Amino acid sequence: MVVEAIKNGYVIDHITVGNAIKIYHLLGLDNIDCEVALISYVKSKKMGRKDLLKIGKLIDIVFDKIAVIDPDITINIVKNSKIIEKKQLEIPEKLINVGICNNPRCITSSERNLDQIFHLVDRKNKIYRCHYCEAILENSKIA
Amino acid sequence: MREKKKKNLIDIKDLSVKEIDDLIKVANDIIEHKEKYSHKCDGKILATLFFEPSTRTRLSFESAMLRLGGKVLGFSDSASSSTTKGETLADTVCVVSGYADIIVMRHPKEGAPVVASKRSLVPIINAGDGGHNHPTQTLTDLLTISREKGRLDNLTIGLCGDLKFGRTIHSLITAMSRYKNIKFILISPDELKLPEYVITEVLEKNHIEYIETNSMEEYMNELDVLYMTRVQKERFLNEAEYVRLKDYYILDKSKLETAKEDLCILHPLPRVNEISTEIDDDKRAKYFEQAYNGVYIRMALILKLLEVL
């Protein structure tokens, strides 16, 4: 399969198979005016199989969002057809306004002007808890 | 503007074991020498912000402050607060913290005291936030266990009833897990079992021995403490489920046949049917002493947070 090289944008590499589509939706790539390539189940020396995303525009990306889904990916930032930066993500200790607490009894569901804050409590299993009510952040609530 | 005070009690984990032991010591001294403390809070004001009704806890705090010589103001449900006008909790607390020296609040939303403590100029005491935390109930429980058993370690504690939504249960497990040689017998129907996260993050993390069972009688002979809880109607989304489970356990004389002579029976109150009134005269029933103790440990806490000891 051949996908053209991009001039300006991102190549998101080393995505665990199945996660590219999640990242695609998380970043709202279905709503941007540029070329996007989502390639799944690509052969990889390092991972066996991997997913890959190419985005043909330097859009604003909140990297913490991606790190929560898949902290081991690499983000190549491409400018004028050259990789100017390789970003290794790390799972963040704290998330601010990256997810929404799913607990209907949480104070964040009623109080205005409150940041949605989550703390990493289990690095191995990527578990975050709400700063206020301590409910677990569900992956589907990362927005 | 006054200097912002840092001391609050939001979660029982905010207190170290030493701080809890010190509070128990002060509470015991208050019980022995009430007059010594009757003017410690002269000129101080406690605000009770009860966005959710709770007669018992509110009166216990008011009694505590009045017994210390202080004064009390506040509201007992959100209908009489400016919340009905659309004011945020943060604004309400910010304003009230200019009217009082210490604030006690109960709120139906979980995590509300965290928001309040960020904006308050004075100490905040969490008197219950939804099904989340109720640290002063836990302090009350610890004081009572300590007074009745003479220790907070080397105990087998039976927890019976609603272990799923019972915030007093979760806080008590968290607090007791810091003492040596504690064993829990977790007695509940399958639908109201202790949440998995309490088992993994508290019990297993601290290598605490525990047994889960449906039977109230099976381990009765081993218990040093039996902590009964009410199945709380307000925590159920389905009325039929509540009706099915509310009388699952009823402690009566027959259930206590194999119990130790020095068993300590506790309940955070109010009870409905889960403890038969025939138990009230049994010398092992300590739940009314527990309610009385609540005033004294709250007095000790107010003194600590106001730094007037």
Crossing angle between the packed helical segments B135-149 and B287-306, to the nearest 10 degrees:
120
| CATH 3.30.1360.120 holds for A9-88 | no
Contacts of B197 in chain A (CB under 8 A): 136
Least Cα separation, residue B109 to chain A (angstroms): 5
CB A92, CB A73: distance < 8 Å:
no
pLDDT band, very low/low/confident/very high, at B166 (cuts 50, 70, 90): confident
Query: Is the minimum CB–CB distance between B94 and chain A shorter than 8 Å?
Result: no
Sheet order of strands, B71-75 included? B71-75, B45-50, B102-107, B124-129
Domains and CATH numbers, chain B: 12-133+294-306 (3.40.50.1370), 136-291 (3.40.50.1370)
Burial A105-129 (b: 16+ CB within 10 A, else e): bbbbbbbeebebbbebeeeeebebb
Q: Is the pLDDT of residue A90 over 80?
A: yes
**Average pLDDT, stretch B114-130?**
95
DSSP string, A19-52: -HHHHHHHTTGGGSSS-EEEEEEEEETTTEEEEE
Question: B110–A121: do the CB atoms touch at under 8 Å?
Answer: no
CB A1, CB A39: distance < 8 Å:
yes
Helix (H) and strand (E) counts for chain B?
9, 9
- How many whole angstroms separate alpha carbon B169 and alpha carbon A27? 41
Domain coordinates of chain A in residue numbers? 9-88, 94-141
Q: Is the pLDDT of residue B79 over 80?
A: no
| CATH 2.30.30 holds for A94-141 | yes
In this prediction, what percent of chain B has a pLDDT beyond 70? 96
Position B241 scores a pLDDT of 82
CB B139, CB B168: distance < 8 Å:
no
How does the average pLDDT of chain A come out, rounded? 91
pLDDT band, very low/low/confident/very high, at B238 (cuts 50, 70, 90): confident
pLDDT band, very low/low/confident/very high, at B6 (cuts 50, 70, 90): low
Which residue bears the tokens 């001391």? B7
Least Cα separation, residue A71 to chain B (angstroms): 23
Burial B57-95 (b: 16+ CB within 10 A, else e): bbebbbbbbbbbebebebbbebeebebeeeebbbebbee
